[in-house]
């Protein structure tokens, strides 16, 4: 509880400073705001508690169980399903995809009709979900092999830069942002616990050097996949 | 009464988000691993806490911070606030927007400190490093990165310079730092880029981007409004590696000084 209050103090200070000192305006509906802040504090406290009780243990337990089972196929299938399943239904992604369809329609890449835009948004979401599934698969495979992460990530970045020159202008901002929306508050702890758990139980891997990095893959591949999607879509229509 | 209705709908939406995750987890657990989960009851209670916690968290943000933060972003980018009421200015002078940069940096920093998924990563990194990486040290390093990223992103929208110049230079810095960083911190630094952009940061930062892109002549909200998130996920990579490098430099200096004192 005290921790949560400390976590939220900066944002309250910033908002209050700009409201009173810079914009010099009173706070509308102060009671409602205090009630809301109280709810935020309770929520954060419960979430952290649930993290330690539920999300971290299940991620670790499954990592141990898969390592013991020793089946590469099922571990990779699990990684893919986790990435694909959590991303396809992600509300932030649904919002970004709809917005992207609007941009594409303005740019003339997509028909102006609502059905054409919905189609585009649907395929875009599928592309991002696929890319996150692929990212977790690749990331888990890297942990097993103990490859240094930087070669993979940097070649990924270089691919992003190269694709930027070829992708349609209207897709670039969306592609860059789509890397950020894929990692939700529930997925991050789960995936981190899985990676660190795997790196802890596999012989010769260290949790710091090998366990982290899954999130990095999940935020990189959507950029590449979305730009490729934009190029493919432009060349097809 | 409204807050109760909000709680209900947000809870429904959060449960809907958790369902695919639960299906994948329990599906693989019972169909592939085929072993009962230890502490199943604790895990289920933990999931209930996570869903309830996120629900209260989101409803509270909707109620308390987002409307005010979004209104603030709109007011701070309003031409009549920046140039004074009734004054019409030709063109855009980026220096006039100093309050916007300060707001961008401070809201980026503060919302990152409150970000639940970053707290999760920091707890895990602290455990995995055996306490070498401090929870607050990491969180502050990431928050400073987001602050720089969002402020620079605002500057980019105001000046209208192309997004990819910044991103490419940023990546170049990341690559140079990577070649010199301790290899235990690299994956964590890369991860911290991805976690910064979720529940708290995205709505506030997006409101700022859209506010700027709408009020500045010649900018399109649909094209220039995007991209702030990309900045917010690039710069933490740089600051986290920088934080680790700075820590190492301090330790090395202290050691050298210690040796010098002994002589």
Average pLDDT, chain A: 88
Write down the pLDDT at residue B102. Answer: 93
Mean pLDDT of B142-167: 90
Comparing CA positions, the residue from B153, B35, B168, B8 lying closest to residue A158 is B168
d(CA A200, CA A124): 36
Q: Give pLDDT, residue B89.
A: 65
Q: How many CB atoms lie under 10 A from the CB of residue B31? A: 9
Cβ-contact B204, B107 below 8 angstroms: yes
Contact between B63 and A32 using a beta-carbon 8 Å cutoff: yes
Rg (CA), chain A: 21
Q: At what angle do helices B201-215 and B98-113 cross, to 10 degrees?
A: 160
User: B197 and A183 in contact by Cβ < 8 A?
Assistant: yes
DSSP state of A27: P
Determine whether the interchain pair A15/B72 forms a contact, defined as Cβ–Cβ distance below 8 Å.
yes
Q: Which residues of chain B neighbour A193 with C-beta distances below 8 Å?
A: 124
Nearest CA among B202, B184, B186, B195 for reference residue B238: B186
Token pair of A47 as six digits: 């979430």
Q: Do B164 and A42 touch (CB under 8 A)?
A: no
User: Does A85 contact B164 at a Cβ distance shorter than 8 Å?
Assistant: no
Which residues, 6 or more positions from B136, have their beta carbon under 8 angstroms from its beta carbon?
B122
What is the per-residue pLDDT for B90?
Answer: 65
Cβ proximity of B240 and B188 under 8 Å: yes
B234 vs A: CB within 8 A:
no
What are the tens digits of pLDDT across the range B243-253? 998 888 888 88
Cross-chain Cβ contact B58/A33 below 8 Å: no
Residue A32 touches chain B, beta carbons under 8 Å? yes
Closest residue of chain A to B47, computed from CA coordinates: A54
Least confident of A79-88, B67-76, B104-113, B135-144: B67-76
Q: Where is average pLDDT lowest: A70-74, B185-189, B224-228, B239-243? A: B224-228
pLDDT band at residue B1 using 50, 70 and 90 as cut-offs = low
**Percentage of chain B lying above the pLDDT 90 cut:** 36
The full DSSP string for B6-23 is HHHHHHHHHHHHHHHHHH
Q: What angle do CA B244, B245, B246 make, to 5 degrees?
A: 90
Q: Where is average pLDDT lowest: A125-134, A171-180, A189-198, B113-122?
A: A171-180
Radius of gyration of chain B, Cα coordinates, nearest whole angstrom: 22
pLDDT tens digits for range A141-165: 999 999 999 899 989 988 988 998 8
Residues of A with Cβ-Cβ distance to B29 under 8 angstroms: 62, 65
Q: Which of B202, B198, B191 is nearest to B236 (CA)?
A: B191
Cα distances (angstroms) measured from residue B95 to each of A125, B85, B89, B159, B227: 39, 18, 13, 10, 21
**Of A10-19, A22-31, A104-113, B182-191, which gets the smallest average pLDDT?**
A104-113
Angstrom distance (rounded) from CA B57 to CA B231: 25
Q: How far away is chain A from the Cα of B185, in angstroms, using its nearest Cα?
A: 7
Q: How many CB pairs under 8 A join A and B?
A: 337
Model confidence pLDDT, tens digit, residues A46-99 = 999 999 999 999 999 999 999 888 889 999 999 999 999 888 877 778 877 887
Is pLDDT above 80 for A110? Answer: no
Q: What is the pLDDT of residue B196?
A: 75
When CB atoms are compared, the residue of A103, A186, A188 closest to B223 is: A103
Contact A53 B43 (CB under 8 A): yes
Position B96 scores a pLDDT of 80
Q: How many CB atoms lie within 10 A of CB A72?
A: 12
Closest CA–CA distance from residue A123 to any residue of chain B (Å): 19
Touching check for A22 and chain B: CB below 8 Å? yes
Q: B223 contacts in A (CB within 8 Å)?
A: 103, 169-170, 173
Average pLDDT over residues B228-243: 89
C-alpha to C-alpha distance for A236 and A220, rounded to whole angstroms: 25
Spell out which residues of chain B touch residue A52, defining contact as CB-CB under 8 Å: 46, 123
The answer to whether ipTM exceeds 0.90 is no
Confidence grade of residue A103 (pLDDT, cut at 50, 70, 90): confident
pLDDT of residue A235: 86
Chain B partners within 8 Å of A25 (Cβ): 75
Distances (CA, A) of A120 to A96, A133, A223: 12, 20, 17
**Across A169-173, A233-237, B90-94, B159-163, least confident range:** B90-94
| Tokens (6 digits) for A109 | 């890449």
Which candidate from A41, A102, A213 shows the least CB-CB separation from B191? A213
Sign of torsion over alpha carbons B125, B130, B135, B137: negative
State the Cα–Cα distance between residues B127 and B241, nearest whole angstrom.
Answer: 19
Q: Say whether residue A16 is in contact with chain B using an 8 A CB cutoff.
A: no
Instruction: Give a three-class secondary structure readout of chain B.
Output: CHHHHHHHHHHHHHHHHHHHHHHHHHHHHHHHHCCCCCCHHHHHHHHHHHHHHHHHHHHHHHHHHHHHHHHHHHHHHCHHHHHCCCCCCCCCCHHHHHHHHHHHHHHHHHHHHCCHHHHHHHHHHHHHCCCCCCHHHHHHHHHHHHHHHHHHHHHHHHHCCCHHHHHHHHHHHHHHHHHHCCCCCHHHHHHHHHHCCCCCHHHHHHHHHHHHHHHCCCCCHHHHCCCHHHHHHHHHHHHHHHHHHHHHHHHHHHHHHHHHHHC
Nearest to A51 by CA among A191, A219, A199, A182: A191
pTM for this one?
A: 0.89
How many residues can be counted in chain A? Answer: 237
| Structure confidence at residue B88 (pLDDT) | 66
pLDDT, residue B101, reads 93
């Amino acid at each position: 509880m005290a921790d949560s209050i400390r976590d939220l103090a900066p944002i309250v200070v910033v908002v209050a400073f700009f409201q009173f000192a810079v914009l010099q305006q009173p706070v509308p509906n102060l009671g409602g705001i205090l009630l809301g802040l109280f709810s935020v504090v309770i929520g954060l406290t419960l979430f952290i508690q649930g993290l330690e009780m539920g999300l971290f243990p299940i991620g670790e337990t499954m990592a141990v169980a898969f390592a013991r089972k020793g089946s590469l196929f099922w571990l990779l299938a699990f990684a893919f399903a986790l990435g694909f399943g959590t991303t396809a239904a992600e509300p932030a992604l649904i919002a970004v995809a709809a917005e992207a369809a609007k941009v594409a329609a303005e740019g003339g890449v997509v028909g102006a009709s609502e059905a054409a835009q919905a189609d585009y948004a649907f395929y875009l979401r599928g592309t991002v979900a696929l890319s996150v599934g692929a990212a977790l698969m690749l990331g888990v495979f890297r942990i097993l092999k103990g490859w240094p992460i930087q070669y993979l990530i940097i070649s990924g970045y270089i691919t992003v830069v190269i694709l930027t020159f070829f992708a349609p202008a209207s897709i670039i901002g969306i592609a860059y942002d789509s890397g950020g929306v894929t990692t939700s508050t529930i997925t991050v702890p789960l995936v981190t616990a899985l990676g660190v758990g795997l790196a802890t139980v596999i012989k010769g891997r260290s949790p710091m050097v090998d366990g982290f990095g899954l999130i990095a893959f999940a935020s990189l591949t959507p950029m590449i996949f979305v730009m490729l999607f934009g190029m493919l879509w432009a060349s097809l229509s | 009464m409204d807050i109760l209705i909000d709680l209900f709908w947000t809870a429904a939406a959060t449960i809907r988000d958790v369902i695919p995750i639960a299906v994948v987890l329990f599906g693989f657990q019972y169909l592939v691993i085929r072993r009962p989960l230890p502490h199943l009851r604790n895990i289920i209670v933990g999931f209930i806490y996570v869903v309830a916690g996120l629900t209260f968290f989101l409803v509270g943000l909707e109620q308390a911070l987002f409307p005010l933060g979004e209104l603030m972003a709109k007011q701070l980018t309003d031409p009549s606030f920046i140039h004074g009421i009734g004054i019409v200015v030709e063109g855009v002078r980026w220096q006039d927007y100093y309050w916007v940069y300060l707001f961008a940096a401070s809201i980026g920093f503060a919302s990152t400190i409150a970000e639940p998924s970053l707290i999760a990563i920091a707890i895990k990194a602290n455990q995995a490093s055996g306490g070498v990486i401090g929870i607050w040290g990491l969180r502050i390093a990431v928050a400073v990165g987001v602050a720089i990223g969002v402020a620079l992103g605002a500057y980019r929208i105001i000046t209208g310079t192309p997004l990819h110049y910044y991103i490419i230079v940023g990546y170049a810095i990341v690559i140079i730092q990577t070649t010199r960083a301790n290899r235990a911190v690299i994956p964590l630094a890369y991860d911290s880029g991805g976690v910064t952009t979720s529940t708290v940061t995205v709505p506030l930062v997006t409101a700022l981007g859209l506010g700027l892109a709408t009020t500045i002549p010649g900018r399109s909200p649909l094209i220039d409004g995007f991209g702030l998130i990309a900045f917010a996920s690039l710069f933490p990579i740089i600051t986290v590696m920088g934080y680790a490098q700075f820590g190492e430099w301090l330790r090395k200096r202290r050691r050298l000084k210690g040796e010098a004192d002994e002589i």
